[in-house]
């Protein structure tokens, strides 16, 4: 059984899901892959301790604080490759950016390969079931472009601005897409 609750945010309503022990999902309403594996199999419940902790984490984050990801019990569902990519995402420091290519190099090293597809990494990043907390918004293209974000590029820009890492990337993107 999964438990879920809604939480307001500057990005719009967020759906948080738990297996009662760990956070298994966090989606921005309307995002790609919304609800993931739990969307048709959850009971709405506001008093699950892990969901309460996740809401407090999100409130601190949106208040400009830097809550530690490690303070939450996370259990995103996915295969070994995706789990590896999500682990790398969790190691990206608050306010910093990395590229799909850099994650691919790290995954290749972990898997004892000479190379890894950036597109495969992009698929794993895009299917991250715990948006915001597992910071897939901190990943950009190798040319500095703000490539896709399941919640939408506008939400990615909001998150990067909040973290102070948007800088010239957002300015370039905004001027080219207005």
pLDDT score of 38: 66
pLDDT score of 9: 97
List all residues 6 or more positions away from 13 whose beta carbon is below 8 Å from its beta carbon.
6, 7, 28, 29
Q: Flag whether pLDDT at 4 surpasses 70.
A: yes
B/e letters for 49-76, b = 16+ CB within 10 Å, e = fewer, are ebbebbbebbeebbeeeebebeebebeb
Angle between helices 100-110 and 118-126 (to 10 degrees): 100
Residue 166: pLDDT band (50, 70, 90) is: low
At 7-61, the pLDDT tens digits run 999 999 999 999 999 999 999 988 876 766 666 677 778 899 999 999 999 999 9
DSSP state of 92: S
Tokens of 146: 């703000």
pLDDT score of 160: 93
- ∠ CA(134), CA(136), CA(142), 5° rounding? 150
Catalytic site positions: 136
Q: Flag whether pLDDT at 168 surpasses 50.
A: no
d(CA 77, CA 83): 8
Please provide the distance, in angstroms rounded to a whole number, between the alpha carbons at the two ends of the chain.
44
At 100-143, the pLDDT tens digits run 999 999 999 999 999 999 999 999 999 999 999 999 999 998 88
Q: Flag whether pLDDT at 151 surpasses 80.
A: yes
pTM of the prediction? 0.89
Mean pLDDT of 148-174: 76
List all residues 6 or more positions away from 29 whose beta carbon is below 8 Å from its beta carbon.
12, 13, 14, 15
38 vs 157 pLDDT, higher one: 157
Residue 173: pLDDT band (50, 70, 90) is: very low
Structural domains for the chain:
2-71 (3.30.160.70), 80-176 (1.10.10.10)
Tokens of 159: 């998150």
């Amino acid at each position: 059984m999964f438990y879920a609750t809604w939480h307001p945010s500057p990005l719009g309503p967020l759906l948080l899901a738990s297996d009662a022990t760990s956070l298994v999902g966090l989606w921005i309403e309307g995002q790609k892959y919304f609800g993931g594996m739990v969307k048709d199999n959850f009971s709405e419940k506001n008093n699950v301790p892990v969901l309460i902790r996740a809401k407090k984490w999100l409130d601190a984050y949106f208040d400009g604080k830097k809550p530690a990801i490690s303070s939450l019990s996370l259990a995103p569902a996915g295969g070994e490759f995706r789990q590896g990519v999500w682990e790398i995402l969790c190691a990206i420091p608050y306010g910093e950016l990395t590229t799909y290519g850099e994650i691919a190099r790290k995954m290749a090293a972990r898997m004892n390969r000479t190379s890894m597809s950036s597109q495969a990494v992009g698929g794993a990043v895009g299917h991250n079931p715990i948006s915001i907390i597992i910071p897939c918004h901190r990943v950009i293209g190798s040319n500095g472009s703000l490539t896709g974000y399941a919640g939408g590029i506008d939400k990615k820009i909001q998150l990067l601005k909040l973290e102070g890492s948007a800088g010239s990337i957002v300015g370039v993107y905004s001027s080219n897409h207005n």
